[in-house]
Amino acid sequence: MSRHLKQSSRRRFLVGATGVMGAAGVVGVATPFVCSLAPNEKAKQVRAPIKVDVSKIEVGAMVTVAWNGLPIWILKRDKQSLLSLKKHEALLADPDSIDSIQPKNTKNTFRSVRSDIAVYIGLCTHLGCTPKYRPELSPIDLGENWHGGFFCPCHGSKFDLAGRVYKNVPAPTNLEIPPYRFIDNDLLEIGYREESEGV
Amino acid sequence: MFNALMNWFDQRLPILSFLRKHLSCYFVPKNLNFLYVFGIFALVMCFSQLITGIWLAMSYTPTTSEAFESIQYIMRDVNFGWLIRHMHTTGASFLFAILYVHIFKAMLYGSYQKPRELVWLFGWLLFALFSAEAFTGYLLPWGQMSYWGAQVITSLFEVIPFVGDSIAQWVRGDYTVSEITLKRFFALHVIGFPVLIGLLLFLHISSLHHVGSNNPKGVDIALKLDGKGKPLDAIPFHPYYTVKDLFYVLLMLGLFAAVVLYVPDFWGYFIESDNALPANILSTPDHIAPLWYFAPFYSILRAVTYPLFGIEARFWGAMLMYLSIFLLALLPWLDRSPVKSLRYKGKVSKFMFGLFVISFVSLGVCGVMAMNATALFIAQVSSLIYFSYFLLMPWFTKFEQCQNVPDRV
Ligand code: HEM
Ligand code: FES
């Protein structure tokens, strides 16, 4: 075959051109199939924000609601635990939330808009399990240095009550915070986005 | 009459010649042992998975609202649905157990070495495809383990710097595992991967038949031929090995039936108990572990807990996990030993292979356990051994003293 092809440069050119056109065709046909797998417009639509009344949540308790197929945690923290947040900063990987994802107005020590109410996306930043809420101090299974927080059963990541990740655990960053605002004193709206801000 | 008919066929489509070439005139070393039946076992289980799978697909619904229900329906209402489902779930675990022994055999006797590199590579691709097949299948019941297992494993793509999030979303078709993910996994599980597996099985076995089977002594039987060009140390596959294989296949199927009928969940190792709860997107089960056959690789993933070069630990964990599978493919080129079978390799090879098997088993044990400091430490040491086996192999196989290989089996 190749012996015959060598004979004429015209034939070689035609074979080459056909090959190039064929390759372009393959890429052209593959494109819709590859793109078809990406999230479609319907999946991308940000679903409507949800409202939650936080006045019913007891101090120290946490409720979980679903928003956009994600578990959202709403936690009411007491004064004591808020005060202790500063103390163990040396043990944290990203105490100032530099590398973590959160709306601008929650980039503070408490990682919240209102200091007592914390709102997080309840998925571990390691591989997306839901960590367990473990508010108690120094329980037997978690040891002396446990100041209350979240423990991920999947691969042992630890977060404090501000959702900040500890050092030397598999999770790289603090728990993500969804966009939210207080419409009213105790009425929380999760998923609210300002026009200009694409979080 | 019958012969005339067969001849008529053979002149148009050479079925008889084909069977002769691959059965009664296919010459196989006469010293193949028990470990050599596992390839046939794998074929038998593939067939069983295909049939039970088709029957399951007739009653299963791939939607988030009905998937879990439809499994309950299969278990309670469909005639013999419980049996067909348990054959399928047990079959998956059996298939992996069989594949691990089959790979062990190939490593023990150096069957991946020249001229069987392609046999080995096609086999390796089959293993990768079966892993994908098992992973997509596991999401279908839409139980707690299905959902969270898929969530964790698809998140593995997120660890790739910069483009990771987009890749993970492309795989899931959504921001988290959802009905879109369920439907595409269903399509891949019932059509996509099986077709590819069929193709690779064909390539695996044709390339094997082209070069012939290795044997426990690693002796090349093609070097000693009789007057007619038939290897002196070979016997025809049919009837010798067909009968031997059939006998062991029946034994294996007996064991299979016992597991299917008496302990289909195999105490939580073949069907995890948390998967009896429907998927709940708000809460992960307390103890999430992969099925036993992925445990060794999962252990390697978990073993890395330190960031390196400014890149987070989970990235390195995922990379090491992929690497651990990829290194297997390179085995034919990492092994520089002049002899095939471990029987005639040097002491270092024997010692390293022993360590390797132990490390693989302990990685598996750690992988199904909950995370704790001891398990983590054992997993780290075992990972180290696992990788050194491959990375040191070019040296220890080259410089060690081997024994003489006999020229007859
Ligand atoms: C469902 C998957 C598989 C099936 C059905 C299958 C089937 C077979 C069969 C029927 C044989 C001949 C009988 C024997 O030597 O046991 C064989 C040989 C072989 N297989 Fe597989 N195989 C599978 C997967 C694999 C995998 C995952 C590997 C390795 C990564 C592999 C590597 C080999 C090698 C190296 C041989 C030659 C053995 C020798 O000649 O000593 N196979 N396979
Ligand atoms: S998913 Fe939480 S530690 Fe891995």
Q: Which two tokens stand for residue B290?
A: 């992969």
Cβ(A94)–Cβ(A173) below 8 Å: yes
Is the same domain home to A32 and A62?
no
Q: Quick check: CB of B38 below 6 Å from ligand 1?
A: yes
Please tell me whether residues A50 and A31 are part of one structural domain. no
Shared domain for A140 and A189, answered yes or no, is: yes
Q: Backbone phi, then psi, for A76, in 5-degree steps? A: -105, 115
Chain B interface disruption, residue of A101, A127, A151, A176, most B CBs within 10 A: A127
Domain co-membership, A20 together with A87: no
Furthest C-alpha separation in chain B: 78
* Res. A197: pLDDT tops 50: no
Q: Which chain B residue lies closest to A65 (C-alpha atoms)?
A: B282
- Of the candidates A69, A153, A156, the beta carbon closest to that of B286 is on A153
Structure tokens at A92: 């944290």
Distance from CA of B153 to the nearest CA of A (A): 8
The answer to whether residues A52 and A122 belong to one domain is yes
Output the six-digit token pair for A80.
Answer: 């004591």
Question: Measuring CA to CA, which residue among B160, B153, B159 is closest to residue B134?
Answer: B153
Search chain A and give the residue with CA nearest B144: A129
Instruction: Domain B22-268+275-280: give its CATH code.
Output: 1.20.810.10
The pLDDT value given to residue A196: 39
DSSP per-residue string spanning B62-81:
-STTTHHHHHHHHHHTSTTH
| Interior angle at CA B92, CA B87 and CA B94, nearest 5 | 90
CB B37 within 8 A of CB B237: no
Report the Cα B242 to chain-centroid distance in Å. Answer: 23
Same domain, A51 and A34: no
Rounded to 10 degrees, the C-alpha dihedral B208/B214/B220/B222 comes to -40
- Does A110 share its domain with A55? yes
Per the model's pLDDT, the better-predicted residue between B70 and A11 turns out to be B70
Helix (H) or strand (E) holding B325: helix B313-334
Instruction: Give the best residue of B153, B184, B314, B321 to mutate against chain A (max A CB count within 10 A).
Output: B314
User: Residue A74 sits in a domain of what CATH number?
Assistant: 2.102.10.10
Amino acid A75: pLDDT:
92
- The domain tally of chain A equals 2
Tokens (6 digits) for B380: 């780290």
Q: How many A×B Cβ pairs under 8 Å?
A: 91
Q: Do B170 and A130 touch (CB under 8 A)?
A: no
Enumerate the residues of chain A whose CB falls inside 8 A of the CB of residue B178.
43, 69
* Model ipTM value: 0.79
Residues A89 and A122 in one domain: yes
- When the pLDDT of each residue in chain A is averaged and rounded to a whole number, the result is 85
Task: Say which DSSP state B214 is in.
Answer: -
pLDDT at A1 over 60: no
B189 labelled ligand-binding: yes
Distance CA B106, CA B36 (A): 9
Within a 10 A sphere around the Cβ of A144, how many other Cβ atoms?
Answer: 6
Token pair 């599980």 is at which residue? B189
Which residues lie below 8 Å from residue B135, measured CB to CB, with a gap of 6+? B149, B150, B153, B294
Whether residue A167 sits in one domain with residue A144 = yes
CB B97 within 8 A of CB B293: yes
> What angle, rounded to 10 degrees, do the helices at B193-211 and B38-57 form?
160
Domain with CATH 1.20.810.10 in chain B: 22-268+275-280
Among residues of chain A, what percentage have pLDDT more than 70? 92
DSSP letter, residue B311:
B
Task: Give me the helix-helix angle, B193-211 and B117-139, nearest 10°.
Answer: 160
Task: Tell me the CA–centroid distance for residue B149 and ligand 2, in Å.
Answer: 12
Structure tokens at B233: 């140390």
- List the residue whose alpha carbon is closest to atom 41 of ligand 1: B214
The DSSP symbol for B234 reads: E
Bridging pattern class, strands A70-76 and A117-121: antiparallel
Q: What is the pLDDT of residue B304?
A: 83
- pLDDT of the residue at A198: 42
Winning range, highest mean pLDDT, from A86-90, A171-175, B31-35, B310-314: B31-35
Query: What is the nearest CA distance from B114 to chain A, expressed in angstroms?
Result: 30
What residue owns the CA closest to ligand 2's atom 3? A155
Q: Nearest ligand, CA of residue B33?
A: 1
- Cβ atoms A120, A126 nearer than 8 A: no
Q: CA dihedral in degrees (B124, B129, B134, B137; nearest 10)?
A: 180
Residues 6+ apart with CB under 8 A from B30: B233, B234, B235, B240, B409
Neighbours of A124 (CB within 10 A): 26
Can you say whether residue B80 is alpha, beta or left, with left for phi > 0 and alpha for psi between -120 and 50 degrees? Answer: left
Q: Tell me, yes or no, whether A23 and A96 share the same domain.
A: no
Verify that A84 and A63 share a domain, yes or no.
Answer: yes
Ligand nearest to the CA of A153: 2
In angstroms, the CA B368 to CA B381 distance is 17
A62 plus A159 within the same structural domain: yes
Q: Do B173 and A66 touch (CB under 8 A)?
A: no
Contact of B309 with chain A, judged by CB distance below 8 Å, is answered with no
> Where in the sequence is the domain holding A17, given as residue range(s)?
3-38
Q: Is B106 in the pocket of ligand 1 (CB under 6 A)?
A: yes
- Tens of pLDDT along chain B (409 residues) come to 888 998 898 899 998 889 999 998 899 999 999 999 999 999 999 999 999 999 999 999 999 999 999 999 999 999 999 999 999 999 999 999 999 999 999 999 999 999 999 999 999 999 999 999 999 999 999 999 999 999 988 988 888 888 888 999 999 998 889 999 999 999 999 999 999 999 999 999 999 999 999 999 999 998 888 888 889 999 999 999 999 999 999 999 999 999 999 999 999 899 998 899 999 988 888 888 889 999 999 999 888 877 777 777 778 888 999 999 999 999 999 999 999 999 999 999 999 999 999 999 999 999 988 777 888 899 999 999 999 999 999 999 999 999 999 988 8
CA distance B306 to A157: 12
Among protein residues, the one whose CA lies closest to atom 1 of ligand 2:
A127
Ligand 2, pocket-test mutation among A121, A134, A151, A152, most atoms within 8 A of CB: A152
- Any ligand 2 atom below 6 A from CB of A170: yes
A123 CB under 6 A from ligand 2?
no
From the list A39, A40, A129, the residue facing B284 with the nearest CB is A129
Q: What mean pLDDT is predicted for residues A162-187?
A: 88
CA–CA separation, A141 and B287 (whole Å): 14
Ligand 2 atom at shortest distance from the alpha carbon of A170: 3
What is the reported pLDDT for A6?
A: 60
Using DSSP bridges, classify how beta strands A180-182 and A187-190 pair: parallel, antiparallel or unpaired: antiparallel
3-state secondary structure chain A: CHHHHHHCHHHHHHHHHHHHHHHHHHHHHHHHHHHHCCCCHHHHCCCCCEEEEHHHCCCCCEEEEEECCEEEEEEECCHHHHHHCCCCHHHECCCCCCCCCCCHHHCCCCCCCCCCEEEEECCCCCCCCCCEEECCCCCCCCCCCCCCEEECCCCCCEEECCCCEECCCCCCCCCCCCCEEECCCCEEEECCCCCCCCC
Question: What gap in Å lies between CA A95 and CA A90, rounded to an integer?
Answer: 8
